[in-house]
């Protein structure tokens, strides 16, 4: 019997190169299970899935297999904030404390909403060690962050808020809308657009979730030098900002294949969804027809706010308001269009919109790659998409 995984789905004429790149991921890039989808001008031109949803390779990947997409969730969270801005309920230049009074503690009273969305607020981590259960306790996390003193003067530099972005922006959404981030996204985007994407996965849906591997040990030439540097810093400075950003609460080490993680709302890291849903959401944004955000909202979302050496990640990052933006560096590019915006996730998942080419893209997988930003598997797919346009 062949070890070649079965690939399912559809690929429009002219996009065969995307299918080839997807299959190549299984042949030469150690893919276990994955899915990718592409919309062009609102039409789905690629919708592929294959492989297995578990490491033991006993569960075939299904059309509706859900994947924990880590920081790709941040784009979902950002869309929610921008909808509230579009509706005039949230103001980028208003003080966070206007909506969330407790946030004014520790000298943060003048911090504007803009700094939260652009990773400039200086709260990538909580210094005081938190108990493991705090990771799944919304009130515990937002209370700790409201009380925290910034690691740098807000607005003076940027550093990736790996987990805290979700609680910070999610609490703003909750204070303004009266709904949790997961509920707001479901009612505002998922249900109207027919998206199978969840922030806080209902217990009845856990069986559909793919088993995620630990982050791969990098092979020769596979990891960014910055990823290696960051890993060393986390080991040698366990109380430092970068280590705290990823490992406080320490329950992050317990992994994501557990009910507590799947059920919680962690809007910086635990969205569960399909590539099809990412492509549909970003595809609607790419058409810029007002269904997701206003045209002004799209322009606002992708306007550069932060660019350069990241205080947390040890490499260059570039952010708009909640979304990551392309950089010239190949491993940080969403393709050739400079205005493309979206978000990658740890291990390899990514979703993005390109309004110039009217492309929405999604890729999800369960074998975690070692790169910090975009993974080789996603980059190969993105290259194939643009070669096919």
pTM of structure: 0.96
Say whether 71 is catalytic. yes
Q: pLDDT for 38-70, tens place per residue?
A: 999 999 999 999 999 999 999 999 999 999 999
pLDDT of residue 319: 98
Closest CA to 90 of 184, 182, 153: 184
**330 confidence band (pLDDT: 50, 70, 90):** confident
Rg of the Cα trace of the chain?
19
C-alpha span between 72 and 269 (Å, rounded): 7
pLDDT at 44: 99
Among the listed residues 10, 28, 71, 118, the single catalytic one is 71
In the Cβ-directed half-sphere of 353, how many Cα atoms lie within 13 Å?
A: 25
Per-residue model confidence (pLDDT) at position 1: 39
How does the average pLDDT of the chain come out, rounded?
95
* 239-272 per-position pLDDT tens digit: 999 999 999 999 887 889 999 999 999 999 999 9
Q: Is the dihedral of CA 322, 135, 57, 207 positive or negative?
A: negative
pLDDT band of residue 336 (cuts 50, 70, 90) is very high
Asked whether the predicted pLDDT for residue 190 surpasses 80, the reply is yes
Query: Exposure pattern of 275-302 as b/e (b: 16+ CB <10 Å)?
Result: bbbbbbbbbbbbbbeeebbbeebbebbb
C-alpha torsion sign, points 108, 111, 114, 118: negative
Q: What is the per-residue pLDDT for 227?
A: 73
What pLDDT shows up at residue 216?
67
| pLDDT of amino acid 231 | 77
As a whole-number percent, the residues of the chain with pLDDT over 90 amount to: 89
Helix axes 275-287, 73-86, angle to 10 degrees: 30
Domains delineated in the chain: 7-76+185-388 (3.40.710.10)
The reported pLDDT for the residue numbered 223 is 62
């Amino acid at each position: 019997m062949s070890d070649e995984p079965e690939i399912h789905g559809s690929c429009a004429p002219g996009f065969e190169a995307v299918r080839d790149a997807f299959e190549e991921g299984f042949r030469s890039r150690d893919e276990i299970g994955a899915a990718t989808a592409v919309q062009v001008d609102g039409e789905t031109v690629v919708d592929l899935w294959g492989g297995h949803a578990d490491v033991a390779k006993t569960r075939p990947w299904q059309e509706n297999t859900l994947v924990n997409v880590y920081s790709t969730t941040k784009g979902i969270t950002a869309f929610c904030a921008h909808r509230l801005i579009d509706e005039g309920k949230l103001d980028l230049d208003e003080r966070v404390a206007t909506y969330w009074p407790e946030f004014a503690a520790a000298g943060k009273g003048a911090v504007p909403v803009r700094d939260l969305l652009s990773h400039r607020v200086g709260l990538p981590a909580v210094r005081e060690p938190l108990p493991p259960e705090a990771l799944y306790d919304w009130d515990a996390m937002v209370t700790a962050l409201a009380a925290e003193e910034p690691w740098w003067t807000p607005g003076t530099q940027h550093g990736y808020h790996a987990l805290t972005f979700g609680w910070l922006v999610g609490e703003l959404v909750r204070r303004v809308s009266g709904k949790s981030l997961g509920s707001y996204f479901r009612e505002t985007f998922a249900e109207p657009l027919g998206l199978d994407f969840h922030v806080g996965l209902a217990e009845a849906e856990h069986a559909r979730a793919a088993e995620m591997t630990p982050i791969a040990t990098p092979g020769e030439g596979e990891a960014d030098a910055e990823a290696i540097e960051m890993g060393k810093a986390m080991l040698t400075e366990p109380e430092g900002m970068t280590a705290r950003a990823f490992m406080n609460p320490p329950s992050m080490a317990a992994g994501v294949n557990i009910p507590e993680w799947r059920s919680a709302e962690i809007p910086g890291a635990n969205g569960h969804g399909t590539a099809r849903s990412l492509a549909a959401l970003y595809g609607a944004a790419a058409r810029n027809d007002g269904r997701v955000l206003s045209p002004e909202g799209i322009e606002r979302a992708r306007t550069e706010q932060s660019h350069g050496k990241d205080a947390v990640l040890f490499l260059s990052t570039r952010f708009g308001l909640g979304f990551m933006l392309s950089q010239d560096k190949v491993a940080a590019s969403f393709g050739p269009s400079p205005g493309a915006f979206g978000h990658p996730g740890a291990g390899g998942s990514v979703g993005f919109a390109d309004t110039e080419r009217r492309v929405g893209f999604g890729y999800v997988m369960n074998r975690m790659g070692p790169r910090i930003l975009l993974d080789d598997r996603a980059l190969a797919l993105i290259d194939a998409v643009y070669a096919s346009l």
